[in-house]
Chains A and B, each alone.
Chain A
Amino acid sequence: MANTIEVDGKQFTVDEEGYLADLNDWVPGVATVMAGQDNLELTSEHWDIINFLREYYAEYQIAPAVRVLTKAVGKQLGKDKGNSKYLYSLFPYGPAKQACRFAGLPKPTGCV
Protein backbone atom coordinates (compact mmCIF):
# COMPACT_ATOMS: atom_id res chain seq x y z
CA MET A 1 0.00 0.00 0.00
CA ALA A 2 1.30 3.41 -0.92
CA ASN A 3 2.12 5.85 1.86
CA THR A 4 0.58 9.29 1.80
CA ILE A 5 0.96 12.56 3.64
CA GLU A 6 -1.79 15.11 4.07
CA VAL A 7 -1.17 18.73 3.08
CA ASP A 8 -4.01 21.24 3.33
CA GLY A 9 -6.56 18.43 3.23
CA LYS A 10 -5.04 16.90 0.10
CA GLN A 11 -3.30 13.50 -0.03
CA PHE A 12 0.19 13.21 -1.54
CA THR A 13 1.77 9.85 -2.35
CA VAL A 14 5.27 9.24 -1.00
CA ASP A 15 7.64 6.29 -1.41
CA GLU A 16 8.77 3.97 1.39
CA GLU A 17 11.50 6.41 2.39
CA GLY A 18 9.14 9.37 2.49
CA TYR A 19 10.15 11.00 -0.80
CA LEU A 20 7.34 12.48 -2.87
CA ALA A 21 6.29 10.10 -5.65
CA ASP A 22 5.78 12.80 -8.27
CA LEU A 23 7.79 15.98 -7.99
CA ASN A 24 5.25 17.83 -10.14
CA ASP A 25 2.77 17.46 -7.26
CA TRP A 26 4.94 19.56 -4.97
CA VAL A 27 3.59 22.63 -3.22
CA PRO A 28 5.42 24.53 -0.46
CA GLY A 29 3.04 22.99 2.08
CA VAL A 30 4.65 19.60 1.39
CA ALA A 31 7.93 20.88 2.81
CA THR A 32 6.18 22.39 5.83
CA VAL A 33 4.34 19.16 6.65
CA MET A 34 7.42 16.96 6.13
CA ALA A 35 9.46 19.29 8.34
CA GLY A 36 6.76 19.07 11.01
CA GLN A 37 7.06 15.28 10.96
CA ASP A 38 10.81 15.70 11.58
CA ASN A 39 10.10 18.25 14.37
CA LEU A 40 11.60 21.10 12.38
CA GLU A 41 10.21 24.53 11.80
CA LEU A 42 11.24 25.97 8.43
CA THR A 43 12.95 29.36 8.43
CA SER A 44 13.93 31.50 5.45
CA GLU A 45 17.39 29.87 5.65
CA HIS A 46 15.75 26.47 5.12
CA TRP A 47 13.72 27.81 2.21
CA ASP A 48 16.88 29.19 0.56
CA ILE A 49 18.26 25.65 0.39
CA ILE A 50 14.95 24.04 -0.61
CA ASN A 51 14.46 26.54 -3.42
CA PHE A 52 18.07 26.14 -4.45
CA LEU A 53 17.60 22.36 -4.74
CA ARG A 54 14.44 22.75 -6.79
CA GLU A 55 16.23 25.09 -9.18
CA TYR A 56 19.19 22.74 -9.42
CA TYR A 57 16.89 19.86 -10.25
CA ALA A 58 14.98 21.88 -12.83
CA GLU A 59 18.23 22.70 -14.57
CA TYR A 60 20.15 19.42 -14.29
CA GLN A 61 17.48 16.75 -13.69
CA ILE A 62 19.24 15.33 -10.65
CA ALA A 63 19.50 16.07 -6.97
CA PRO A 64 23.13 16.94 -6.20
CA ALA A 65 25.34 14.90 -3.87
CA VAL A 66 26.03 16.72 -0.62
CA ARG A 67 29.59 17.62 -1.62
CA VAL A 68 28.31 19.24 -4.80
CA LEU A 69 25.47 20.94 -2.96
CA THR A 70 27.87 22.44 -0.43
CA LYS A 71 30.08 23.89 -3.11
CA ALA A 72 27.20 25.24 -5.18
CA VAL A 73 25.50 26.81 -2.16
CA GLY A 74 28.77 28.52 -1.26
CA LYS A 75 28.96 30.00 -4.73
CA GLN A 76 25.38 31.17 -4.87
CA LEU A 77 24.45 32.04 -1.29
CA GLY A 78 27.84 33.01 0.12
CA LYS A 79 30.90 31.22 1.47
CA ASP A 80 29.60 31.27 5.07
CA LYS A 81 26.73 29.01 3.97
CA GLY A 82 28.75 26.72 1.72
CA ASN A 83 29.89 24.33 4.42
CA SER A 84 28.44 21.14 5.75
CA LYS A 85 28.31 22.41 9.34
CA TYR A 86 25.90 25.14 8.36
CA LEU A 87 23.81 22.81 6.20
CA TYR A 88 23.65 20.13 8.90
CA SER A 89 22.57 22.76 11.41
CA LEU A 90 19.56 23.43 9.18
CA PHE A 91 18.90 19.83 8.15
CA PRO A 92 20.10 17.51 10.93
CA TYR A 93 19.19 14.35 8.99
CA GLY A 94 21.60 15.29 6.23
CA PRO A 95 21.30 18.33 4.00
CA ALA A 96 21.04 16.41 0.75
CA LYS A 97 18.67 13.68 1.91
CA GLN A 98 16.39 15.67 4.16
CA ALA A 99 16.31 18.91 2.19
CA CYS A 100 15.71 17.01 -1.07
CA ARG A 101 12.80 15.20 0.55
CA PHE A 102 11.27 18.52 1.66
CA ALA A 103 11.84 19.90 -1.85
CA GLY A 104 9.94 17.00 -3.39
CA LEU A 105 13.00 15.65 -5.22
CA PRO A 106 14.05 12.01 -5.46
CA LYS A 107 16.81 10.75 -3.19
CA PRO A 108 20.12 12.27 -4.34
CA THR A 109 22.37 10.33 -6.67
CA GLY A 110 25.54 9.29 -4.93
CA CYS A 111 24.06 9.58 -1.50
CA VAL A 112 25.33 6.87 0.84
Chain B
Amino acid sequence: MSEIVKKFLYLNRRAPYGSIHAWEALEVVLIGAAFDQDVSVLFLDDGVCQLIKGQDTKGIGMKNFSPTYRTLGDYDIRKIYVDRVSLERRGLTPDDLIEIAGEDPETEEEIENLVEVIDRARVSALMNESDAIFSF
Protein backbone atom coordinates (compact mmCIF):
# COMPACT_ATOMS: atom_id res chain seq x y z
CA MET B 1 0.00 0.00 0.00
CA SER B 2 1.31 3.38 -0.98
CA GLU B 3 1.26 6.00 1.72
CA ILE B 4 1.21 8.85 -0.75
CA VAL B 5 -2.32 10.19 -0.94
CA LYS B 6 -3.14 11.59 -4.35
CA LYS B 7 -5.97 13.87 -5.28
CA PHE B 8 -8.26 12.18 -7.73
CA LEU B 9 -10.99 14.08 -9.52
CA TYR B 10 -13.74 12.22 -11.35
CA LEU B 11 -15.57 14.31 -13.93
CA ASN B 12 -19.06 13.23 -14.90
CA ARG B 13 -20.01 15.10 -18.05
CA ARG B 14 -22.65 13.02 -19.80
CA ALA B 15 -26.33 12.24 -19.48
CA PRO B 16 -27.04 9.17 -17.31
CA TYR B 17 -28.52 6.99 -20.05
CA GLY B 18 -27.81 6.63 -23.75
CA SER B 19 -24.21 5.66 -23.10
CA ILE B 20 -22.48 3.54 -20.51
CA HIS B 21 -20.26 6.39 -19.29
CA ALA B 22 -22.25 7.48 -16.24
CA TRP B 23 -22.71 3.99 -14.82
CA GLU B 24 -19.10 2.99 -15.56
CA ALA B 25 -17.84 6.15 -13.91
CA LEU B 26 -19.89 5.42 -10.80
CA GLU B 27 -18.51 1.88 -10.63
CA VAL B 28 -14.94 3.13 -11.01
CA VAL B 29 -15.50 5.66 -8.22
CA LEU B 30 -16.95 3.00 -5.90
CA ILE B 31 -14.20 0.49 -6.64
CA GLY B 32 -11.50 3.17 -6.38
CA ALA B 33 -12.88 4.20 -2.98
CA ALA B 34 -11.17 1.15 -1.48
CA PHE B 35 -7.75 2.71 -2.07
CA ASP B 36 -7.99 5.50 0.50
CA GLN B 37 -7.13 8.36 -1.84
CA ASP B 38 -8.42 11.91 -1.73
CA VAL B 39 -11.40 11.62 -4.08
CA SER B 40 -13.59 14.38 -5.48
CA VAL B 41 -16.51 13.82 -7.82
CA LEU B 42 -17.73 16.65 -10.01
CA PHE B 43 -20.89 16.71 -12.10
CA LEU B 44 -20.56 19.00 -15.09
CA ASP B 45 -22.39 19.67 -18.39
CA ASP B 46 -25.06 17.01 -19.03
CA GLY B 47 -23.53 15.07 -16.14
CA VAL B 48 -25.60 17.14 -13.71
CA CYS B 49 -28.63 15.17 -14.97
CA GLN B 50 -27.21 12.04 -13.36
CA LEU B 51 -28.28 13.40 -9.98
CA ILE B 52 -31.84 14.39 -10.89
CA LYS B 53 -34.42 13.15 -8.38
CA GLY B 54 -37.18 10.73 -9.28
CA GLN B 55 -35.67 9.12 -12.38
CA ASP B 56 -37.83 6.52 -14.07
CA THR B 57 -36.19 4.30 -16.68
CA LYS B 58 -39.05 1.89 -17.33
CA GLY B 59 -39.67 3.32 -20.79
CA ILE B 60 -36.09 2.78 -21.98
CA GLY B 61 -35.54 -0.67 -20.51
CA MET B 62 -32.43 0.32 -18.55
CA LYS B 63 -31.67 -0.10 -14.91
CA ASN B 64 -32.29 3.05 -12.90
CA PHE B 65 -29.01 3.32 -11.04
CA SER B 66 -29.62 6.79 -9.62
CA PRO B 67 -30.27 5.36 -6.10
CA THR B 68 -26.69 4.08 -6.15
CA TYR B 69 -25.30 7.64 -5.97
CA ARG B 70 -26.72 7.77 -2.46
CA THR B 71 -24.16 5.15 -1.37
CA LEU B 72 -21.22 7.45 -2.10
CA GLY B 73 -21.30 8.59 1.52
CA ASP B 74 -21.16 4.96 2.71
CA TYR B 75 -18.03 4.56 0.59
CA ASP B 76 -16.46 7.55 2.41
CA ILE B 77 -16.62 9.82 -0.59
CA ARG B 78 -17.53 13.22 0.80
CA LYS B 79 -16.42 15.68 -1.86
CA ILE B 80 -19.32 15.72 -4.26
CA TYR B 81 -19.69 18.82 -6.40
CA VAL B 82 -22.11 20.10 -9.01
CA ASP B 83 -21.22 22.88 -11.42
CA ARG B 84 -23.72 25.69 -10.88
CA VAL B 85 -23.53 27.00 -14.45
CA SER B 86 -24.31 23.58 -15.97
CA LEU B 87 -27.23 23.22 -13.59
CA GLU B 88 -28.70 26.65 -14.40
CA ARG B 89 -28.29 26.20 -18.15
CA ARG B 90 -30.49 23.14 -17.94
CA GLY B 91 -33.14 24.95 -15.95
CA LEU B 92 -32.36 22.98 -12.82
CA THR B 93 -31.91 24.05 -9.22
CA PRO B 94 -30.23 22.28 -6.29
CA ASP B 95 -33.72 21.17 -5.16
CA ASP B 96 -34.03 19.02 -8.28
CA LEU B 97 -31.09 16.88 -7.19
CA ILE B 98 -30.93 13.85 -4.94
CA GLU B 99 -29.35 14.26 -1.54
CA ILE B 100 -26.41 12.12 -0.54
CA ALA B 101 -26.00 11.62 3.19
CA GLY B 102 -22.68 11.02 4.85
CA GLU B 103 -20.85 11.09 8.10
CA ASP B 104 -18.16 13.36 9.47
CA PRO B 105 -15.01 11.19 9.70
CA GLU B 106 -13.85 12.88 12.91
CA THR B 107 -17.03 13.26 14.91
CA GLU B 108 -19.07 10.49 13.19
CA GLU B 109 -21.87 13.01 13.06
CA GLU B 110 -24.44 12.56 10.34
CA ILE B 111 -24.18 14.98 7.42
CA GLU B 112 -27.54 15.37 5.72
CA ASN B 113 -26.31 16.22 2.25
CA LEU B 114 -22.79 16.09 0.85
CA VAL B 115 -23.73 17.51 -2.55
CA GLU B 116 -22.31 20.99 -2.97
CA VAL B 117 -23.15 23.31 -5.86
CA ILE B 118 -20.05 25.32 -6.76
CA ASP B 119 -19.24 28.21 -9.07
CA ARG B 120 -16.77 28.17 -11.97
CA ALA B 121 -13.88 29.55 -9.91
CA ARG B 122 -14.13 26.55 -7.56
CA VAL B 123 -14.41 24.22 -10.56
CA SER B 124 -11.13 25.58 -11.98
CA ALA B 125 -9.41 25.44 -8.61
CA LEU B 126 -10.54 21.85 -8.16
CA MET B 127 -9.10 20.86 -11.51
CA ASN B 128 -5.85 22.72 -10.88
CA GLU B 129 -5.21 21.12 -7.52
CA SER B 130 -5.96 17.54 -8.63
CA ASP B 131 -3.13 15.08 -9.32
CA ALA B 132 -5.25 13.02 -11.69
CA ILE B 133 -8.48 13.78 -13.52
CA PHE B 134 -10.69 11.05 -14.93
CA SER B 135 -13.22 12.37 -17.39
CA PHE B 136 -16.27 10.32 -18.31
* Chain A residues at the B interface, C-beta cutoff of 8 Å: 59-62, 64-65, 67-68, 71-72, 109-110, 112
Q: Which of B60-107 contact A (CB under 8 A)?
A: 63-65, 67-68, 70-71, 74-75
B53 to chain A minimum Cβ distance, whole angstroms, is 15
A38–B30 alpha-carbon span in the complex (Å)? 29
In the complex with contacts A71-B74, A72-B74, A65-B30 CB distance below 8 A: yes
Q: How far is the CB of A67 from chain B (nearest CB, A)?
A: 7
Q: How many residues of B contact A (CB 8 A)?
A: 14
Given contacts A71-B74, A72-B74, A109-B27, contact A65 B68 (CB under 8 A): no
Interface of B is mostly: helix
B31 touching A59, Cβ below 8 Å: no
Q: Which chain A residues lie closer than 8 Å to B30 at the CB level?
A: 62, 65, 109-110
* B75 and A60 within 8 A (CB): no
A65 in contact with B34 (CB, 8 Å): yes
Q: Which 5 pairs of residues, A with B, have the shortest CB-CB distance?
A: A110-B31, A68-B74, A60-B71, A61-B67, A61-B68
Question: A62 to chain B: which residues have CB within 8 Å?
Answer: 30, 65, 68, 71
Task: Give B31 Cβ to nearest chain A Cβ, in Å.
Answer: 4
Chain B residues, CB < 8 A from A67 = 34
- List A contacts of B64 (CB < 8 A): 61
A67 to B35, CA, bound (A): 12
A59 / chain B contacts, CB cutoff of 8 Å: 67, 70
Whole-angstrom distance between the alpha carbons of A72 and B94 in the complex?
28
Chain B hits for A64, CB < 8 A: 71, 74
Most buried by A among B34, B65, B71: B71
B126: interface (CB < 8 Å):
no
